Chain A
Amino acid sequence: MGEMEQLRKEAESLKDEITAARKAVQDLTLQDHVAGTAVVGRVQLKTRKTLRGHLAKIYAMHWGTDSKLCVSASQDGKLIVWDSYSTNKVHAIPLKSSWVMTCSYAPSGNMVACGGLDNMCSIYNLKGKDGNVKVMRELAAHTGYLSCCRFLSDTEIITSSGDCTCLLWDIETGTEKTVFAGHLGDCMSLAVSPDFNTFISGACDFTAKLWDIREGQCRQTFGGHESDINAIGFFPNGNAVITGSDDASCKLYDLRSDQELITYQDSSIMCGVTSIAPSLSGRLILAGYDDFNCNIWDSLKAERVGVLSGHDNRVSCIGVTPDGMACCTGSWDSFLKIWN
């Protein structure tokens, strides 16, 4: 058994060395560096539109690349594609399984995807020949619920699941191309980098992992949260990651210095974070919580600079348009609200 013991020791000492290496580059904290910068002024966003139409809790929403169309998924068993500016429903897609937990809009605008307790990711073609929206593919291989999905293009999609893995799929053939395994708990959320070469996943093992899409390998792991990570996103520069957790805090991790930069928390906030999104510049971070509100944080000074309150139930999802003009919140109260 001597060899096993040696290996264990080696693994442990490497872990310590990594911690030391991370500490070694901490010549200055983010707080120190921005000490001379003023906090962003109070941000007061108002509801500009309310999207009504779902009959039950909304679990997910995702903006299209044109910053006007968005898709939402609800427990009433429908996917609705909205022209959020006019509040018209462009498509109302009935789902086979009403236990939906996530939805995604393809960058091209040609497809939407969704999935949930049925363990599958269903792809719908919005631009069918006869104008009807039909299921194009049902991607089934996960052995746990589908928690999140994001399109890379019309031909590839990445999914995260309660079975602790993420998968890269080829949509055309309906087959899984790469397995991203390594998390020790349910994968709850994923986000693709701006250059589409990597993606990050947040899981119930309290860690976030950065994956190389092509190589299928985990490049970096970030810990520090004390509970499940429910929401994850890229900072707009693509070099940092924001996470939201059940431990009532959000964190900013930097990829280049390989560690946590700052935590966004307040003693008055005791409930979990359900969703997270950065503003266009990254200076503001919007996070949805279980207490029916969204808090707006100054990402550099780690201070709360605004609150979005207007929902009558938990805010389950949040998204900022690609052009940064507005943010959308979806709630268990069955409404979506557009704010700016």
Chain B
Amino acid sequence: MEDVIARMQDEKNGIPIRTVKSFLSKIPSVFSGSDIVQWMLKNLCIEDQVEALHLGTLMAAHGYFFPISDHVLTLKDDGTFYRFQTPYFWPSNCWEPENTDYGEFLCEICYLYLTETSLYEHVFNEILQMAGDQLDHGVLAVYLCKRTMQNKARLELADYEAESLARLQRAFARKWEFIFMQAEAQAKVDKKRDKIERKILDSQERAFWDVHRPVSVYGLQNDIRSHSPTHTPAAEAKQPTEEELQEQIKFRQAQLDRHRLKMSKVAESLLSYTEQYSDYDPFLSTPDPSNPWISDDTTFWEMEASKEPGQTRVRRWGFRIDEVLKDPVGREQFLKFLESEFSSENLRFWLAVQELKKRPIREVPTRVQEIWEEFLAPGAPSAINVDSKSYDKTTQNIKDPGRYAFEDAQEHIYKLMKSDSYSRFIRSSAYQELLQAKKKVKCFKQFLT
């Protein structure tokens, strides 16, 4: 790629670079996106504009040239202005920003910032981040930020931030002095540099950070990173130790042993789930009576909040046990039904354990004891039937009671409810009546109007 770049920069046959007069100032050393595309079509074995744009965008992603006005590293076939990156920042120089010779690098940066050039917000973020990772060198950068902050009213530092920076500066006082002296010396030398040259250097440096930024999420636009040679995927870590390998083997063995459901079954279950719920998905079906966001009528929400469940709501309880347990009115009805059959202890236990998990930690031990006494202890008033394995485990757990003391027992009871109590509830006349009730009323209302 760098051969092509060298050809592009050739004085005679390369891309024409010029200084453009803009409204208030001159823009030095630029060429347009179209210039690049035209040059590529003429000088390279490229068939069409699409290919040229693709190649150009890859070059931009690597940082060989960049648009001067924004941070989006792509090539556009129009009048957008681009500039070449200085070879110092080329990827082939194996430039690792995490280089240990950081102090030197930062001194180079500081001459850019101790002058009047603007400190781009995103670079400030980088530097703050660096201050976290490499306190030694980052400290300088942080100090520099503070210096420039004093000149830049628009970059308002919160009191909290300014305080931290000041604290860091004081903590590393001696080191600051030395580095700062170096920085000032360099700054003096280069203040003499041509203003235009500084402008170019500044934009090149900024573009370098656009390619190599450490934090990809905060404040920065994205580009095609995966092809960059300097982007080392985090997965290529150091060689694992013996202990780590043993762990890995154990983990992988467990993974291998897990039961895998056939894709066809999974696909079928996904399809049937989405079909079952499509009536309830407001993006797919119109809610009844209306979507409050569209009609400005909040009846739907009022109905959901009421203790009298509508037919659609009741129908949903029949889909799966979780729907009943999720809906407060559903739980109430389910409990009522089970109580009528004198078999409510399972549900009451399940509900008690759910509630336990939300309790403040100081209340947990007492509550665990209460639940044990009520449902599991020998002679418990609401004795539940749990398999012996879970029972033994629970007996152990309550000796050191935590929020998850009843986890095994709860899981067992949940499965029991799902296959037994829940199916009885759905088949019960109580449930069926609720299912029909609203329908009847609706028909009657329609009859009246």
Question: B261 contacts A256, CB within 8 Å?
Answer: yes
Residues on the A chain within 8 Å of B219, using CB? 57, 75
Across-interface contacts of B362 in A (CB, < 8 A): 172
Per-residue 0/1 for A115-129: is the Cβ within 8 Å of any B Cβ (1 yes, 0 no)?
Answer: 011010000000000
Picked from A30, A155, A338, the residue with its CB within 8 Å of the CB of B358 is A155
Supposing A33-B264, A155-B358, A218-B251 touch, asked if A206 and B283 sit within 8 A by C-beta, the answer is: no
CB pair B273 A281 closer than 8 Å: yes
Specify which chain A residues have a CB less than 8 angstroms from the CB of B260 in the assembled complex: 21-22, 24-25, 256-259
Closest residue of chain B to A183 (Cβ to Cβ) is: B234
Contact partner of A284 (CB less than 8 A), chosen from B225, B235, B281, B294, is B281
Q: Which residues on B sit within 8 Å (CB–CB) of A27?
A: 262-264
On whether A246 and B222 interact (CB within 8 A), knowing A257-B261, A281-B274, the answer reads yes
In the complex, what residues of B have CB within 8 A of residue A37's CB?
271
Which of A185, A257, A271, A327 touches B266 (beta carbons < 8 Å)? A257
Chain B residues with CB below 8 A from A130, complex form? none
The CA of A279 and the CA of B273, in the complex, are separated in Å by 12
Are B225 and A227 in contact, CB atoms less than 8 angstroms apart? Answer: yes
Q: A15 CA to B255 CA in the complex, in Å?
A: 9
Closest to B285 in A: A281
- A176 within 8 Å of B (CB atoms): no
- Among B252, B282, B404, contact of A324 (Cβ-Cβ < 8 Å): B282
Instruction: Give CA–CA (A214, B269) in the complex, Å.
Output: 27
CA A156 – CA B282 in complex, angstroms?
Answer: 31
Count of A-B contacts with CB under 8 A?
227
Bitwise, B396-416 to A at CB < 8 A (1) or not (0) is 000000001001000000000
- The minimal Cβ–Cβ distance linking A287 to chain B, given in whole angstroms, is 14
| CA distance in complex: A24, B361 (Å) | 46
Partner of B226, one of A226, A283, A325: A226
Q: How far is the CA of A299 from the CA of B266 in the complex (A)?
A: 14
Cβ contacts under 8 Å, B216 to chain A: 204, 228, 246
Q: Which residue of A lies closest to B358 (CB)?
A: A153
Stretch at the interface among B8-16, B21-29, B103-111, B242-250: B242-250
A249 to chain B, nearest CB (A): 12
For residue B1, CB closer than 8 A to chain A, the reply is: no
Closest residue of chain A to B156 (Cβ to Cβ) is A98
Query: Which of A15, A40, A188, A283 is the most central at the interface, judged by chain B CB atoms within 10 Å of its CB?
Result: A283
Shortest Cβ gap from B231 to chain A (Å): 9
Main secondary structure of the interface of A (DSSP, over half): loop
The reply to whether B277 and A282 form a contact with Cβ atoms under 8 Å apart is yes
Contact B271 A205, beta carbon cutoff 8 Å:
no
Q: How large is the interface on A (under 10, 10 to 19, 20 to 34, 35 or more residues)?
A: 35 or more
Q: Does A230 contact B (CB under 8 A)?
A: yes
- Interface positions, chain B 279-304, Cβ under 8 Å from A, are 280-284, 287, 291-294, 298, 300-301, 304
B-facing mask of A233-247, CB < 8 A → 1, else 0? 001110110000011
- A18-B252, A40-B284, A172-B361 are known contacts. Are A240 and B270 too (CB-CB below 8 A)? yes
Residue contact B245 to A340, C-beta cutoff 8 Å: no
Tell me, yes or no, whether B322 is within 8 Å of chain A by CB.
yes
| Interface membership of A132, Cβ < 8 A | no
Contact indicator A323/B270 (Cβ below 8 Å): no
Do the beta carbons of A279 and B264 come within 8 Å of each other?
no
B256, B280, B293, B407: the one contacting A338 at CB < 8 Å is B293
A184 near B237 with CB under 8 A, answer yes
User: Judging by beta carbons under 8 Å apart, are A98 and B221 in contact?
Assistant: no
The answer to whether A247 touches B255 (Cβ under 8 A) is no
Residue in A closest to B241 when the chains form the complex, CB atoms: A4
From residue 120 to 154 of chain B, which have CB atoms closer than 8 A to chain A? 125, 128-129, 132
Interface residues in A77-120 by Cβ distance below 8 A to B read 77, 85, 96-99, 101, 116-117, 119
Most buried by A among B218, B225, B268, B322: B218
Q: How far is B294's CA from A309's CA once the two chains are assembled, in angstroms? A: 18
Complex CA gap A170/B215 in Å reads: 29
| Chain B residues whose CB sits within 8 angstroms of the CB of A21 once the complex forms | 256, 260
Our pick among B248, B258, B268 for the contact of A11 (Cβ within 8 Å) is B248
**Smallest CB separation, A269 vs chain B (Å):** 12
**A34 CB–B CB distance under 8 Å:** yes
B342 sits at the interface (CB 8 A): no
| B residues in contact (CB < 8 Å) with A | 125, 128-129, 132, 158, 160-161, 215-219, 221-222, 224-226, 233-235, 237, 242, 245-246, 248-249, 251-253, 255-256, 258, 260-271, 273-274, 276-278, 280-284, 287, 291-294, 298, 300-301, 304, 322, 357-362, 404, 407
Smallest CB-CB A-B distances: 8 pairs: A185-B234, A281-B277, A33-B267, A281-B281, A14-B252, A256-B261, A28-B264, A153-B358
8 new A-B pairs (CB below 8 Å) besides A27-B264, A30-B267, A259-B260? A14-B249, A17-B256, A29-B263, A33-B271, A254-B263, A257-B262, A281-B278, A325-B292
A-side residues, CB < 8 A to B, are: 3-4, 7-8, 10-11, 14-15, 17-18, 21-22, 24-30, 32-34, 37, 40, 43, 45, 48-49, 57, 67-68, 75, 77, 85, 96-99, 101, 116-117, 119, 144-145, 147, 152-155, 162, 170, 172-173, 184-186, 188, 194-196, 204-206, 214, 218, 220-221, 226-228, 230, 235-237, 239-240, 246-247, 254, 256-259, 261, 270-272, 279-284, 290, 299-300, 314, 323-327, 338, 340
